[in-house]
Amino acid sequence: MTATDTSTGTIAPTTLAPKPRGGLAQSVHDSLVIARRNLIRMKRIPEIVVFGLIQPVMFVLLFAYVFGGSIAVDGSTDPKMFREFLMAGIFAQTVTFATAGSSAGIAEDMTKGLIDRFRSLPMDRGAVLTGRTIADLVQTTLTMVVLIIVALMVGWRIHNGIPKALAAIGLMLLLGYAFTWIGALIGLSVRTPEAATSAGLIWLFPLTFVSNAFAPTSGMPTWLQHIADWNPFSATVQAGRVLFGNPGVSQSDAWPMQHPVWASLFWSVLIIVVFRTLAVRKYRSATA
């Protein structure tokens, strides 16, 4: 049980770490190493993934059967219409709610000694965060698959073919990925993992509800309708409905509602650029 077995000789001569790859190659490499670390953690703490699945499934069932029939979609209160309308909203909400997990995970990492190790290694400065967001994206994708199956079971259908449906799912995942960078920034900005859990969740409620996700915006006061139309979240939901061929596509004149695919792409990329920059800067100056 002693740490030294001197008979095995030297621990190898003193050496320097290999030359850094540098640039994008190193950034990608290091991010993937960290992503793998986070995926292994998910595998060893399956509760996180399981509870991540339960919530959206519950939302589908609650919304579909509680509100279905009381909200008119395209002039009809047929619950089947509402369920078809609802799904794009639930999908988008699910990918964005996953960001609360990123906030908490990163906040927790920052309280651990491990982050000092990472920051003392010759690795890419953004990799700890990028790796985390990649792992979260994998988890979100998994959740999406389960959710799609549940959606098909409650009567949701794809009407415009598989390629467009895949494009819609791609846009949803991109939005989810973009939002994990907001989650990362929140996780870096609060002091405790507990604070990160609530801070990571609170802002998501107004964001996802002041939108076209769960009810048509036409019923909202005009000022709220404008906000909902320009909400980045609404653009992705609208794009989803258009690409899936679901009912309840907003007829608003607002640009994002007229060009939802482009608007969704634009918003997601903008969020990634802005929040990744802020988060990486925050990470560098953070003092664990």
Q: Footprint of other proteins on this chain (CB under 8 A)?
A: 1-6, 8, 10-21, 26, 29-30, 33, 36-37, 40-41, 44-45, 112-114, 116-123, 127, 287-288
The nearer residue to other proteins, 122 or 170, going by C-beta atoms, is 122
The nearer residue to other proteins, 19 or 221, going by C-beta atoms, is 19
Report yes or no: 223 and 232 within 8 Å, Cβ to Cβ. no
Cβ partners under 8 Å of residue 148, min gap 6:
91, 169
With CA atoms as reference, report the closest residue to 92 among 178, 173, 186: 173
* Backbone conformation region of residue 155, classed left if phi is above 0, alpha if psi is from -120 to 50, else beta: left
| Least separation in angstroms between CB 287 and other proteins | 6
| Least separation in angstroms between CB 77 and other proteins | 49
The nearer residue to other proteins, 44 or 163, going by C-beta atoms, is 44
The nearer residue to other proteins, 16 or 162, going by C-beta atoms, is 16
The nearer residue to other proteins, 61 or 114, going by C-beta atoms, is 114
| Least separation in angstroms between CB 121 and other proteins | 5
| Least separation in angstroms between CB 126 and other proteins | 13
Half-sphere exposure of 120 (CA within 13 A, CB side): 6
Tell me how far apart the alpha carbons of residues 176 and 192 are, in angstroms, rounded to a whole number: 23
Tell me how far apart the alpha carbons of residues 88 and 247 are, in angstroms, rounded to a whole number: 10
Find the helix packing angle between 162-189 and 127-153, rounded to 10°. Answer: 130
| Least separation in angstroms between CB 156 and other proteins | 36
Tokens read off for 287: 């003092």
